[in-house]
Structures are given as structure tokens and as C-alpha cells.
Structure 1
Amino acid sequence: MPVHMSESSQVGRGKGVGLGLAIGSAVVFGGSGVAAKPLIEAGLDPLHVVWLRVAGAALVMLPLAVRHRALLRSRPALLAGFGLLGVAGVQAFYFASISRIPVGVALLVEYLAPALVLGWVRFVQRRPVTRAAALGVVLAVGGLACVVEVWSGLSFDALGLLLALGAACCQVGYFVLSDQGSDSGEAAPDPLGVIAYGLLVGAAVLTVVARPWNMDWSVLADTADMNGTPVAAAVLLAWIVLIATVVAYVTGVLSVRRLSPQVAGVVACLEAVIATVLAWVLLGEHLSAPQIVGGAVVLAGAFIAQSSAPAKSPDEPVASGGPERELSARGNVA
């Protein structure tokens, strides 16, 4: 009995840490738009801001890439997939979609990712999915529709919707690939190394798409206006690179390792809520009553989803219960 209590305590502590990391990742990811918008309004192209974000983060993480260079031989497919899907794919598809459909619609479609993650876990990995997790996804997506006020700019541009769905699928790849190897014990790929190489791959792909040699670099030496307050553009860029990218990806991947892709995916829906609240506070973009209600519903959905499955313990990763995950892991190996 004392041993059982000790294991339960470890699982509970791991779950609490994982939830904290997931919320922290959503907070810093959500803060990227608030810092990027003044730079865009100051004259930078949105794709150039994305390139600066990813390329700067890749440069910061370069020492870790050198340190974990063995991953190039042991996990080349994982590194390429994470860079193409989790870094470059999400950004490129999202920005392409908002050029054709309203931002709110694109955000809503992109954050269908938690539902797609559940489908991946249930039908591809053949792992059990709890009803509470499914309910959490439904609440989170419904609340998100209120947060982005999808009804105010509904558009049925087929290509735009397909591009937004592409962003959602890439986000599924981010959560699923973040969990790869987490049940391999000491042989699991180091998450910091995966992130470092993913950012390098993403930066290389985005360089071709964004063509930064056409960027107006002088904007970075000036100030940008944040709701009437001049802020150095370099400070905003530093926030985007160091906090909204490096810290966001590190905490996000670590949260998936401690929770599960489906739970971390639902908690990530908080990003849109946090981005909306920060825009209200820092940019003066006021919230409507449906947005406030929608934010509360997203929070409820995230709470229900994260409480539906035990966390991964240091010795035995779990998604919807220890024995089920163990059997699933053996099946995947086979």
C-alpha cells in the first residue's frame, strides 16, 4: 500500500507539472501575435516576421543542435517531420489561409487539431479515448468559435478552408511527433535536440517561402507603436524569438511528453483565448460578451480533457491508462 501511494503521488505530480507546462506554452504562444502585430503595422511583411521568428529561434538553439547531432543518424525522419509539420507547415498554411478567409475562421479550423488528434489516437494508434476527453474537445472547439466570433466573417472559400485544414493537420503532426519515443525510456530522443533541429528545418523551408532578402531590415532599428506606446522593434523581436518561440516550443513538447497528445492538444486551445485577452489588454482590442463566454467554455473543455487521463509517470508513459498504453506501445513496435 505505501508503494501504491507513492506511485500515485508521482503520477499526480507529473500530471501537475505537465499541465503547468502546457498552460505556460499556450500563454507564450498566445503572446506572439501581440508582439508581431506592431511589427507588421510598422512595415514588415507577415511572412518576414514568421521567418525572423523561426530563424532567430533556430540560431538560439544551434548549440543544442550541435550537442545532439547524433539525432541526425538515429532519428532523421522525426527531425524532418517535426521541422516540416510542427514548425514550417503550421505557419505557412495558416498565413496562406488568412490571405483568403477571415482570421477567426482560419483559427477555428486550425484548432480542430485536438479533435483530429483524438481521431489519430483512436483509429490509427488504436488506443482508447475517454468520453471526457471527447467532451473536452467539443467544448473547446465550440468555445473557440465564440472567442474568434466566427459568425462575423464567415466565408466559404474552398481553397482557404483547405489551407486552414492543412494547418490543423500540421498541428496534429506537432503533437504526435512531440510524443514520439517518449515510451522508449533512456533511448527516447532528447526533446531539446528535436526542437533545435525542427527549428533549423523550419527556418530552411521558410527561407524559400518568405524570401527574407526582400525584407525592409530598417524597420528593426526603429520603434513600433503598441496602442499608442512606442516600443523598440528589436525588443518585440526578442520577445517573439526567445519567449514566444524557444520557450513556447520547449514547454509545449515537454508537456506532451508528460501528458499525452490529445490532452495537450485541448489545453493548447487556450492559446487563442490568451491571445485575444492579451490583445484586449495591450492593443486595446475590446472583448465582446460572446468572446468572454467562449473563453470560459474553452477553459472548461481544457479542464475536463486534462482530468480525463492520468499523466505519464517517469517510468511508464500513459495516455488513457497504464495497461492500455503499454499494450498499444507493444503493438506499435510489432
Structure 2
Amino acid sequence: MPVETSESSQGGRGKGAGLGLALVSALAFGGSGVAAKPLIEAGLDPLHVVWLRVAGAAVVMLPLAVRHRALVRGRPALLAGFGLLAVAGVQACYFAAISRIPVGVALLVEYLAPALVLGWVRFVQRRPVTRAAALGVVLAAGGLACVVEVWSGLGFDALGLLLALAAACCQVGYFVLSDQRGEAGGRAPDPLGVIAWGLLVGAVVLTAVARPWGMDWSALSRTADMNGTPVPAAALLAWIVLIATVLAYITGVLSVRRLSPQVAGVVACLEAVIATVLAWVLLGEHLSVPQVVGGAVVLVGAFIAQSSAPAKGSPEPVASGGAERELSARGTGA
């Protein structure tokens, strides 16, 4: 029938556009580390780079915050949770951790967050989780252990491990907090508004933590080395703020609105592949065979966890749905 054909065609175009937006978001997020590393090697403190990213994005998205100013009265806990936990808490704790323990170990501990979420859902909320989701988390954690080559360093600082665990707990805390929106019975807030206000809250908190007034601002007027090629530091910062944060979040939100969170989450797994390829081409960073194998296992585990359906007759698990939760999980990485 003509009407059915038209609706099907429109639905196909909508899904195609959603996949395109999800790929753009994955590319933007995946390029953040490649742009940030030369700035850090040029003399900027990692925490200052995080502050520049969050504060710059907050300024750009300020009009959205003004447009959704009603969220301050209607969803203050959600905004505080995103800003304090998903933006400021995760990144501040993670960067403090890597100052005391190897980056790979800190990253592995932080990525315990999905497993911790499932533990919260299963044992605290007493909601069932699918075996596939649990298997996916186990595979992802095991693969990540190979990616970071956790066996290469065994001398750990106790405080560093606690800071890395605090980063994971901050991420879990936001997941749990944002899950309460479905129980409130009201209309879900606009994710763009949540992101805009969360960035503002995070910028304020990170200002107190990073103390940017002590930053070497002159580094931004110099060039940074990208595998032997001089690149203006200001251009790298503009990429981090405008592309790796603002564009990445906006296209991510729009893709989730056209696709299911599960499909958008699976496409988001390409971020790891994109980041690896960009680091290889632009920074000359090569992966070992165990890291390549581990990366493949991580993607398989993420695919299984994201595409698995909730247990029959149960509410959707916190770890596998919701535009805000899916985006917050992607936006917490450095």
C-alpha cells in the first residue's frame, strides 16, 4: 500500500540518518585523546586540559542551558549528578589516580563501572539482569585487561587504586541517579539541556579543583608536536572543545532519538577502533598483538551487553538503556 511504503521509507531514512549521526559522534569522541595528548606533552597539566575542555564546551552550550533553565527547578538532583559525578568526579578522580598508578591500571579499575552497575541492580534493587549482559561485561573487562596490559605493572599505590575506584563509583552514582527519572512518573528531561547544565556544574567544580589561574596559558600560543608534525596548540584545543565535546554530544543525542539506545551504544563501540586508528596514524602509537586481541574482545563484549534484552517481565536494567545514561558513559573518558 502507498501509505505503508511511504512510512517505511521515512523510517528507513530516519534510521539511516541516525546511524550517520552515531558514526559522527563516535568519530568526534574517538579523536579527543589524539588531540589532548600533544597538549599534555607540550607542558599543560592533564587536569588543566580537562578544565579547558569542560569550561569551553560549557560556554558554547550556554544558550542551551538558558533555553532549558526550567531544569534547574525541575531536575536539580539530575543536573547535580551529571555535573558532579559524570563530568567533574570521574575525570578529576581518574587524573588524580594516574598521577600515582599506571594509566592502564587506573583505566581498568574505572571500567569496573558497568559491572558495579549490574551489581547494584541485582543485589540492591533486586532486579534481574540478563545472562547475556553479565557475560558481555565479563568479556569486556577481560578484553580491557589485555588492552591495557595490566600484567606489565604490579606495584600499586593504595591511594591511587582508591582514587581510580572512586572514578568508577562516580560513574555508577550518576547511572543510578539518572535511572530514578523513570520512576518519578514525569516526562523525561531533554538530554541536551541536561548536558548543557551538567557541563556548567562540572566547569564550576573543576575550576576549584584544577585552579586554572596557575596554568601555563602561554602553552596555548605555541605549537604542539604530533608525531614530528608541529600543530598549533589553539587548534588542538578548538578540536577538543568544539568537535570532541560539543559536536560529539549533540550528534550522540540526536542519534539516540532516531535509534534505540542499544543500537546507538553498539555504534559507539567504534570509538575504540577510531581512537586506535587515529593514534596509530597521527601519533605513531602501535598496539601489540595481545592489545589487538583484547580490543576485539572488548567490542564483542560491549556488543553482547548493549544488544541483550532485559529479563522477561522486568524493568529495563540500568546499564543498558536511556539516552542520558548512554551518553554519560561515553562522555566520561578523558
TM-score by length of structure 1 reads 0.81
Counting only pairs closer than 5 Å after superposition, residues 169-188 of structure 1 correspond to structure 2 as 169-181=169-181, 187-188=187-188
Structure 1 unaligned segments of length 5 or more: list them: 1-8, 310-319, 329-334
Structure 1 contact 15–259 (Cα < 8 Å) conserved: no
Number of residue pairs the alignment of both structures matches: 311
Structure 2 unaligned segments of length 5 or more: list them: 1-8, 319-334
Query: What residue in structure 2 maps to residue 31 of structure 1?
Result: 31
Query: What residue in structure 1 maps to residue 44 of structure 2?
Result: 44
1:288-323 per-position Cα deviation (integer Å, ceiling 9, x unaligned):
0001100111111112112212xxxxxxxxxx1685
Distance in 1 (alpha carbons) for counterparts of 2:282 and 2:207:
30
Query: What residue in structure 1 maps to residue 315 of structure 2?
Result: 325
Deviation at 1:121, TM superposition (A): 2.5
1:240-267 per-position Cα deviation (integer Å, ceiling 9, x unaligned):
112222233445567778656x998898
Distance change (3 Å), C-alpha of 1:251 and 1:303? same
Deviation at 1:38, TM superposition (A): 0.7
Q: Please provide the CA RMSD for this pair.
A: 3.5
Query: What residue in structure 2 maps to residue 206 of structure 1?
Result: 206
Structure 2 contact 113–168 (Cα < 8 Å) conserved: yes
Query: What residue in structure 1 maps to residue 301 of structure 2?
Result: 301
Query: What residue in structure 2 maps to residue 313 of structure 1?
Result: none
Counting only pairs closer than 5 Å after superposition, residues 147-166 of structure 1 correspond to structure 2 as 147-166=147-166
Query: What residue in structure 2 maps to residue 317 of structure 1?
Result: none
Structure 1 contact 114–137 (Cα < 8 Å) conserved: yes
Structure 1 contact 100–157 (Cα < 8 Å) conserved: yes
Distance change (3 Å), C-alpha of 1:293 and 1:19? farther
Residue 54, structure 1, aligned to residue 69, structure 2: no
Deviation at 1:47, TM superposition (A): 1.2
Distance in 2 (alpha carbons) for counterparts of 1:160 and 1:326:
34
Deviation at 1:283, TM superposition (A): 0.5
Structure 2 contact 143–296 (Cα < 8 Å) conserved: yes
Structure 2 contact 86–174 (Cα < 8 Å) conserved: yes
Structure 2 contact 141–298 (Cα < 8 Å) conserved: yes
Deviation at 1:222, TM superposition (A): 2.1
Distance change (3 Å), C-alpha of 1:14 and 1:116? farther
Query: What residue in structure 2 maps to residue 315 of structure 1?
Result: none
Identity %: 85
Residue range with higher mean Cα deviation, 19-28 or 163-172: 19-28
TM-score by length of structure 2 reads 0.81
Distance in 1 (alpha carbons) for counterparts of 2:229 and 2:38:
10
Structure 1 contact 135–305 (Cα < 8 Å) conserved: yes
Distance in 1 (alpha carbons) for counterparts of 2:112 and 2:18:
22
Query: What residue in structure 1 maps to residue 238 of structure 2?
Result: 238
Distance in 2 (alpha carbons) for counterparts of 1:259 and 1:161:
35
1:206-262 per-position Cα deviation (integer Å, ceiling 9, x unaligned):
0011111111212212221100111121111111112222233445567778656x9
